[in-house]
Amino acid sequence: MPITNDMKTKNLTISMGPQHPATHGVLKVVLELDGESIVKCTPYVGYLHRGVEKLAESMTYLSALPLTDRLDYIASVCNNVGYCVAVERLFGIEVPERAKFIRTMTCEMARISSHILGVATHALDIGAMTVFLYSFRDRETLLDLFEMLCGARLTVSYPRIGGVRNDVTQEFLDKLYAFTDTFPATIEREYETLLNENRIWKQRTIGVGVITAEEAINWGMTGPNLRGSGVFYDIRKFAPYDAYDKVEFDVPLGKNGDVYDRYLCRMEEMKQSNRIIRQCIEQLPKGAIMAPDAPKFTLPPKDRVLADMESLIHQFVLITKGPIAAPEGELYASTEVPKGELGFYIISDGSGKPYRMRLRSPSFVHVSALPVLCRDAMVADFIANVGTIDIVLGECDR
């Protein structure tokens, strides 16, 4: 049929999600389409809202810890550590060296398992299924290690305010070290062979979802998404917490700020995480795993609770009322989680419960930058863009 000028077309509005498999959870995006190209993209969030910030106000500092597991459930240790670091800084608790190394080690394990899953699902969405299958094999090793360490695979609740829950065993260290021996080679031999040079993968990712360094900063992007645009910003380097100032690692940077560069950044970050884990194991000192000088914040030793009165009182007061000796004050502390910068803003009013706990979650910021990435994009590129910002809706909706 010949196209005549008086034929009327209008834009089509469709709703992607909240149950679209490629939206990584329950993200709803309303797309306005002109044929195949996206005219307007509006993300709607909040389907997974559980009111974590509000819930924390009714819990003691101790009991609020498991709430943070459920933010970015792919890398829950990182969230736990973020929360603990914030509370420790607020109350001036000094964490023992050994605990710092253990935390750094577990955080990097979580970073690997998060990036591996992020890249794998991203590749699956674009159509490269093999990587997805292989990735679960390596992730399983890490999850098993978490289980060996603390009895849970995903929502570990392993760090504690002032230290960690229990000590690492020799078997755990040996197994983890064995994993780090082979993991970088696995990345190169398998993942990179499958993706890096693959022409389909390159065509779907190079030049797609471009965001310039300036725009990325303006939109508040952090983590690999920002570094993919070539901005050197990593909290582990700029404001080191735990043992990050004692280990050596590089921060990979991209150039073009497209999907492909962000993918390369993630791959390189996994290798760097692997390096950090090795250094942590090699340098792991003997020592306390709980801050000994913070009896008002950490549970007293169990063998003393029934033997001496003071410990018993501490135990009861800490659990029922929270650390009532907590000084007043407010503080913002940020940590580098796999997705970007996770910040906790905590106000203490001197009671045992946080007066206010505000979360700065990277996924939320990244979702809001989705319309920028989808400028002049096709519907198929939208899927690539959702994959590349690597969001977890639990953290976005809180």
The residues in 160-219 that bind other proteins, with binding defined as CB under 8 A, are 163, 165-170, 172-175, 177-178, 181, 189-190, 193-194, 197-199
Nearest distance, CB of residue 81 and other proteins, angstroms:
16
What is the nearest approach in angstroms of other proteins to the Cβ of residue 271? Answer: 18
The reply to whether 53 sits near other proteins by the rule CB under 8 A is no
Q: Does 66 bind other proteins (CB under 8 A)?
A: yes
Binder among 34, 36, 140, 188 for other proteins (CB under 8 A): 140
> Exactly one of 30, 312, 325, 380 binds other proteins (CB under 8 A); which one?
312
Rounded to 5°, angle at Cα 248 from 157 and 269: 65
Longest dimension (CA), the chain: 93
Closest approach, Cβ 17 to other proteins, in A, equals 27
Residue 36 touches other proteins, criterion: CB under 8 A:
no
Give 38's contacts (C-beta < 8 A, 6+ positions apart). Answer: 31, 32, 374, 376, 377, 378, 379, 381, 382
Only one of the segments 10-18, 223-231, 314-322, 325-333 lies at the binding site for other proteins (rule: CB under 8 A); that segment is 314-322
**The one among 302, 310, 332, 349 contacting other proteins by CB under 8 A:** 302
Residues 6+ apart with CB under 8 A from 303: none
Q: What distances in angstroms separate CA 104 from CA 66, 72, 80, 252, 292, one per listed residue?
A: 19, 17, 12, 19, 20
Rounded to the nearest whole angstrom, what is the least distance from the CB of residue 134 to other proteins in the complex?
Answer: 8
- Which token pair is 219? 């939109």
Q: Which of residues 230-259 bind other proteins (CB under 8 A)?
A: none
Size of the site for other proteins (CB under 8 A): 69
175 vs 275, beta carbon nearer other proteins: 175
Any contact of residue 263 with other proteins (CB under 8 A)?
no
Q: Considering only CA atoms, which of 68, 39, 20 is closest in space to residue 376?
A: 39
Token look-up 């690539």 returns: 384
Answer yes or no whether residue 351 interacts with other proteins by CB under 8 A: no
- Yes or no: say if 176 and 355 are a contact pair by the CB < 8 Å rule: no
Q: Tokens in use for 75? A: 């890398």
For residue 10, state whether it binds other proteins (rule: CB under 8 A).
Answer: no
Query: Could you say which of 29, 38, 41, 67 contacts other proteins (CB under 8 A)?
Result: 67
Among residues 79 and 298, whose Cβ is nearest to other proteins? 298
Q: Is 306 in the site for other proteins (CB under 8 A)?
A: yes
Q: Binding other proteins by CB under 8 A: which of 299, 325, 331, 380?
A: 299
Residue 326 CB, shortest distance to other proteins, in Å, is: 17
Nearer to other proteins, 303 or 376 (CB): 303
What part of residues 356-385 is at the interface with other proteins (CB under 8 A)? none
Given 24, 98, 115, 353, the residue binding other proteins (CB under 8 A): 98
Question: Judged by CB under 8 A, does residue 315 bind other proteins?
Answer: yes
Residues found near other proteins in the complex (CB under 8 A) = 59-60, 62-67, 69-70, 98, 130, 134, 137, 140, 144, 147-148, 150-152, 155, 157, 163, 165-170, 172-175, 177-178, 181, 189-190, 193-194, 197-199, 281-290, 292, 298-306, 312, 315-316, 319-320
